[in-house]
Chain A
Amino acid sequence: QAVVTQEPSLTVSPGGTVTLTCGSSTGAVTSGHYPYWFQQKPGQAPRTLIYDTSIKHSWTPARFSGSLLGDKAALTLSGAQPEDEAEYYCLLSYGIGRPGVFGGGTKLTVL
């Protein structure tokens, strides 16, 4: 099974910009992996922020954006807010009929 890698932790200043990345052990991440990004706060269920690389849900704050950056998927937060402090997970799809693979998560601190 593929391994999906994320930065274990990142820190951003309030109002600052930070990019989280999501890599695959099988090679470059492409749009064909349909990258997802989820936000999870302690004691809560995950909430989907981004799907299909860059598409936002209606509830996704405009300051979040998804993209492909080099050979990885990326989630960029521009203008960080204290409420953005959370764990962020990416998910990559490796084909129909197979479960997607989550990354290990990035703990984002806004400080």
Chain B
Amino acid sequence: EVQLVESGGGLIQPGGSLRLSCAASGFSVSNNYMSWVRQAPGKGLEWVSGIYTGGNTFYADSVKGRFTISRDNSKNTLYLQMNSLRAEDTAVYFCARVNDDFDFWGQGTLVTVSS
């Protein structure tokens, strides 16, 4: 059974860092195009970052230079390293298996950036 479980969210002060994890089961993250999508409280969805099977990555302009997407094939886990966090980064962060059909989403982890 395919499953994605995010973790690592929490309350962090502005300027701080946090690393989100997305543990996958039922498939290999290295063989799939994976992404992070976020949703600020009461707002819509925003595609944050993605990593292709070959390792190429991309980022939304809003997080470029501050966030880094990566994966650990041995742990079958996707990560999002978030640095220099801002209040506007407060959101639920979802990981998703994209490929052609965006078929599976995790349940999300909440990141709150506040002093």
Inter-subunit contact B105/A99 (CB<8 Å):
no
Stretch of A25-33, A63-71, A101-109 contacting B (4+ beta carbons < 8 Å)? A101-109
Q: Which residues of B contact A91 (CB under 8 A)?
A: 45, 47, 102
Inter-chain contact A45/B105, CB cutoff 8 Å: yes
Q: Does B1 contact A (CB under 8 A)?
A: no
Contact with A along B81-115 (1 / 0, CB 8 A): 00000000000001000001111011110000000
| B-chain residues with CB within 8 Å of residue A48 when the two chains form the complex | 101-103, 105
Per the CB 8 Å criterion, the residue count for chain B at the interface is: 23
Knowing A46-B105, A99-B50, say if A52 contacts B45 (CB, 8 Å): no
Number of interface residues of A (CB under 8 A): 25
In the assembled complex, how far is the CB of residue B27 from the closest CB belonging to chain A, in whole angstroms?
Answer: 16
B58 CB to nearest chain A CB (Å): 5
Q: How far is the CB of B45 from chain A (nearest CB, A)?
A: 4
Beta-carbon contacts under 8 Å, A11-69 to B: 34, 36, 38, 40, 44-48, 51-52, 55, 57
CB proximity of A64 to chain B, nearest CB, Å: 15
Determine whether B56 belongs to the interface, using a CB cutoff of 8 Å to chain A.
yes
CB-defined contacts of A101 to chain B, threshold 8 Å = 47
Do B108 and A45 touch (CB < 8 A)? yes
Interchain CB contact under 8 A, A51 and B108: no
Task: Say if the beta carbon of A79 comes within 8 Å of chain B.
Answer: no
Interface residues of A (CB under 8 A from B): 1, 34, 36, 38, 40, 44-48, 51-52, 55, 57, 89, 91, 97-105
Other 9 A-B pairs with CB < 8 A, given A45-B108, A48-B101, A48-B102: A40-B45, A45-B106, A51-B102, A97-B58, A99-B47, A99-B58, A102-B44, A102-B45, A103-B44
A-B contact pairs, 10 of them (CB 8 A): A1-B61, A38-B45, A48-B102, A51-B102, A91-B47, A98-B58, A99-B58, A99-B59, A99-B60, A100-B47
